[in-house]
């Protein structure tokens, strides 16, 4: 192939979101509750650890009994449900070629195991897709982005149960059929590896009453792998020409030193991250996991035919989120850092965001090269961006040069990776419009090109306005990444 000097002509530029952080209207249009609707805002000084993503069985009962005055930001999102026309018009003004969003499963099957889908929910996404297509914006749809119907958690303990595979497949079949002429690009599970860090967020699984947490988590993951393969098969059958991908929170890691003990430790961490894409892309469990399973008393229950399903339905492309890299040490040395899933130790060559996530543009080039070497499948960066505090000036402007700098440096390295020969389909910046943070439920952790007037406690007009990065990103897209 000829060496590319820049991004291919059909490169898909855009932005990425998730229904539970964006839509709001959590109890409208016939929607049922989802796991995300149970997560309350906890101020930083009261938070235990970096995030608020796990929950107990008791706490859910308390919330459902109305015994709390807490504020649940993901129930309100930023009201995309009512404002999608205005928001999509702004995305179109920036020249988006693609918009990544998720379908909130509980809008379609309110309890998860309903016999029939909810027509109002189906209609809502028809309207959203029509609005996108009106501007020539391709939807890229995640089937499951941390919004398992709560009914599945209550009745089946979520993905811990094999039965949930069937409910997911029915949901996938319903939306593939309904949107066959509107949506070509699909992702089966957002950051499937999040299950390791938060089984509730990743799989609607409560672990406070299970005996062997790791066993439950890996069994749940097996169910998701099988479900993903079955959905991939169905998608290909129902939508000719569809492209179905997996999605990983990629955690490229570095050894802290050239001490072989550090290098080996890093290799183990890396395998634990690539395990997920290994199954999705190669269609089988990698052999390095056998030892891990044996040493941790994990025995995965498989049904006859599971191995064949995984082998026959590998993904068309590999997508991932990229925010940071990790540095790994075999010993106790090094100061800990924060991250969206995992910490690691401080890398003295990198600066960090206000939330302690280490900023590493070159790491993106390394990530792209490594993933492409390993799988030789097209890649898609479906999340990248800077969560930051923004200041609104008296005239309403937001001068977010820090965000522009972050994105510019990452896009430059992405372009280098394309020149290195990596097949890259597109780039969707996380949160093109400010939305509720996944890990902390804050509004003040902003990623957008579009500012939303809403604070951590839910006060604000919800008005939208353009930050400086809006015009900048528009130019990036119109020049196909040449003007940065
Ligand atoms: C990814 C998730 O891990 O990171 C998104 O897929 C999330 O849902 C994003 O919003 C950024 O994380 P946070 O916690 O800053 O919102």
pLDDT tens readout for residues 188-215: 999 999 999 999 999 999 999 899 999 9
Could you give the CA distance from residue 410 to residue 432 in angstroms, rounded to a whole number?
A: 16
Could you give the CA distance from residue 307 to residue 291 in angstroms, rounded to a whole number?
A: 19
**pLDDT recorded at residue 332:** 77
Ramachandran quadrant class, 454 (left: phi over 0; alpha: psi -120 to 50; beta: rest): beta
Ligand 1 neighbour 249 (Cβ under 6 A): yes
Ligand 1 neighbour 437 (Cβ under 6 A): yes
How many whole angstroms from 438 Cα to the centroid of ligand 1? Answer: 5
- Contact status, residue 220 vs residue 207, Cβ threshold 8 Å: no
Residue 1 has pLDDT above 90, yes or no: no
The H or E element containing residue 400 is none
Q: How many CB atoms lie within 10 A of CB 96?
A: 26
Give residue for tokens 């430790």.
Answer: 265
In the structure, what pLDDT confidence band is assigned to residue 78 with cuts at 50, 70 and 90?
very high
Q: How many CB atoms lie within 10 A of CB 169?
A: 17
Ligand 1 neighbour 387 (Cβ under 6 A): yes
Summarize the confidence of residues 62-83 as an average pLDDT.
Answer: 97
Residue 148 has pLDDT above 90, yes or no: yes
In the structure, what pLDDT confidence band is assigned to residue 43 with cuts at 50, 70 and 90?
confident
In the structure, what pLDDT confidence band is assigned to residue 2 with cuts at 50, 70 and 90?
low
How many whole angstroms from 371 Cα to the centroid of ligand 1? Answer: 21
**pLDDT recorded at residue 189:** 98
Which residue's CA is minimally distant from atom 12 of ligand 1?
Answer: 438
Q: What is the pLDDT of residues 99-124, one digit of tens each?
A: 999 999 999 999 999 999 999 999 99
Ligand 1 neighbour 367 (Cβ under 6 A): no
- Contact status, residue 169 vs residue 216, Cβ threshold 8 Å: no
Ligand 1 neighbour 439 (Cβ under 6 A): yes
**pLDDT recorded at residue 4:** 76
Residue 51 has pLDDT above 70, yes or no: no
In the structure, what pLDDT confidence band is assigned to residue 405 with cuts at 50, 70 and 90?
very high
Q: For residue 249, which atom of ligand 1 is closest to its CA?
A: 3
Q: What is the pLDDT of residues 360-369, one digit of tens each?
A: 999 999 999 9
Q: What is the pLDDT of residues 444-475, one digit of tens each?
A: 999 999 999 999 999 999 999 999 999 999 99
Could you give the CA distance from residue 401 to residue 376 in angstroms, rounded to a whole number?
A: 36
Which residue's CA is minimally distant from atom 14 of ligand 1?
Answer: 439
Best mutation site among 383, 431, 434 for ligand 1, i.e. most ligand atoms within 8 A of its Cβ?
383
CATH superfamily of 12-478: Glycosidases (3.20.20.80)
Residue 339 has pLDDT above 80, yes or no: no
How many whole angstroms from 19 Cα to the centroid of ligand 1? Answer: 12
Could you give the CA distance from residue 6 to residue 292 in angstroms, rounded to a whole number?
A: 42
Could you give the CA distance from residue 225 to residue 188 in angstroms, rounded to a whole number?
A: 9
How many whole angstroms from 387 Cα to the centroid of ligand 1? Answer: 9
**pLDDT recorded at residue 344:** 78
In the structure, what pLDDT confidence band is assigned to residue 157 with cuts at 50, 70 and 90?
very high
Residue 173 has pLDDT above 70, yes or no: yes
Q: Does pTM top 0.95 for this prediction?
A: yes
Ligand 1 neighbour 142 (Cβ under 6 A): no
Which residues of 250-295 form beta strands (DSSP E)?
253-255
Check if 9 is active-site.
Answer: no
Residue 343 has pLDDT above 80, yes or no: no
Residue 3 has pLDDT above 80, yes or no: no
**pLDDT recorded at residue 46:** 83
Q: How many residues are recorded in the chain?
A: 484
Summarize the confidence of residues 381-399 as an average pLDDT.
Answer: 98
Summarize the confidence of residues 325-354 as an average pLDDT.
Answer: 82
How many alpha carbons lie under 13 Å from residue 300 in its C-beta half-sphere? 21
Average pLDDT of the chain is 96
Q: How many CB atoms lie within 10 A of CB 212?
A: 14
Q: What is the pLDDT of residues 262-303, one digit of tens each?
A: 999 999 999 999 999 999 999 999 999 999 999 999 999 999
Could you give the CA distance from residue 254 to residue 270 in angstroms, rounded to a whole number?
A: 9
Q: What percent of the chain has pLDDT over 70?
A: 96
In the structure, what pLDDT confidence band is assigned to residue 5 with cuts at 50, 70 and 90?
confident
Q: Which entry of 23, 76, 252, 383 is annotated as an active-site residue?
A: 383
**pLDDT recorded at residue 338:** 67
Could you give the CA distance from residue 15 to residue 92 in angstroms, rounded to a whole number?
A: 11
In the structure, what pLDDT confidence band is assigned to residue 45 with cuts at 50, 70 and 90?
confident
Could you give the CA distance from residue 171 to residue 231 in angstroms, rounded to a whole number?
A: 9
Which residue's CA is minimally distant from atom 16 of ligand 1?
Answer: 437
Could you give the CA distance from residue 217 to residue 240 in angstroms, rounded to a whole number?
A: 34
Which residue's CA is minimally distant from atom 7 of ligand 1?
Answer: 438
Of the candidates 123, 220, 244, the one whose C-alpha atom is nearest the C-alpha of residue 172 is: 244
Q: Are strands 185-187 and 243-249 parallel, antiparallel or unpaired?
A: parallel
Summarize the confidence of residues 292-321 as an average pLDDT.
Answer: 97
Which residue's CA is minimally distant from atom 3 of ligand 1?
Answer: 340
Numbers of helices and strands, H then E, in the chain: 16, 14
């Amino acid at each position: 192939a000829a060496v590319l000097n820049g991004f291919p002509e059909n490169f898909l530029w855009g932005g990425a979101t998730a229904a539970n952080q964006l839509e709001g209207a959590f109890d409208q249009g016939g929607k049922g509750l989802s796991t995300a609707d149970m997560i309350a805002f906890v101020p930083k000084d009261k938070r235990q650890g970096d995030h608020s993503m796990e929950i107990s069985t008791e706490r859910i009962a308390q919330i459902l009994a109305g015994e709390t005055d807490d504020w649940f930001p993901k129930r309100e999102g930023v009201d995309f449900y009512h404002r999608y026309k205005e928001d999509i018009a702004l995305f179109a003004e920036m020249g988006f070629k693609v918009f990544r969003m998720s379908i909130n499963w509980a809008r379609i099957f309110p309890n998860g195991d309903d016999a029939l889908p909810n027509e109002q929910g189906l209609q809502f996404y028809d309207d959203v897709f029509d609005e996108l297509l009106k501007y020539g914006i391709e939807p890229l749809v995640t089937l499951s982005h941390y919004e398992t119907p709560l009914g599945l958690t209550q009745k089946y303990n979520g993905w811990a149960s094999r039965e949930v595979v069937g409910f997911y497949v029915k949901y996938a079949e319903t939306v593939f059929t309904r949107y066959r002429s509107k949506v070509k690009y699909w992702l089966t599970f957002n950051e499937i590896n999040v299950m390791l860090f938060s089984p509730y967020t990743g799989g609607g699984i409560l672990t406070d009453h299970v005996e062997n947490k790791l066993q439950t988590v890996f069994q749940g993951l097996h169910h998701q792998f099988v479900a993903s393969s079955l959905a991939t098969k169905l998608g290909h059958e129902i939508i000719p020409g569809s492209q179905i991908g997996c999605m990983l929170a990629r955690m490229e890691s570095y050894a802290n030193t050239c001490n072989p003990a550090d290098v080996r430790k890093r290799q183990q961490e890396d395998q634990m991250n690539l395990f997920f894409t290994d199954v999705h892309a190669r269609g089988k469990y990698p052999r390095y996991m056998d030892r891990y399973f044996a040493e941790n008393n994990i025995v995965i229950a498989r049904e006859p035919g599971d191995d064949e399903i995984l082998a026959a339905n590998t993904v068309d492309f590999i997508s991932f989120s990229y925010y940071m890299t990790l540095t790994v040490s075999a010993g106790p040395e090094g100061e800990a850092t924060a991250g969206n899933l995992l910490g690691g130790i401080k890398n003295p060559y990198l600066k960090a965001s206000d939330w302690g996530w280490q900023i590493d543009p070159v790491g993106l080039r390394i990530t792209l090269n490594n993933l492409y070497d390993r799988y030789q499948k097209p890649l898609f960066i479906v999340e990248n961006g800077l969560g930051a505090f923004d200041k609104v000036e008296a005239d309403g402007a937001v001068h977010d040069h820090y965000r522009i700098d972050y994105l510019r440096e990452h896009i430059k390295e992405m372009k280098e990776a394309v020149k290195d020969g990596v097949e890259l389909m597109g780039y969707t910046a996380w949160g093109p419009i400010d939305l509720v943070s996944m890990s902390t439920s804050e509004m003040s952790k902003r990623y957008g090109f579009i500012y939303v007037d809403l604070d951590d406690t839910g006060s604000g007009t919800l008005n939208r306005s353009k930050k400086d990065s809006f015009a900048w990103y528009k130019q990036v897209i119109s020049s196909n990444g040449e003007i940065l």
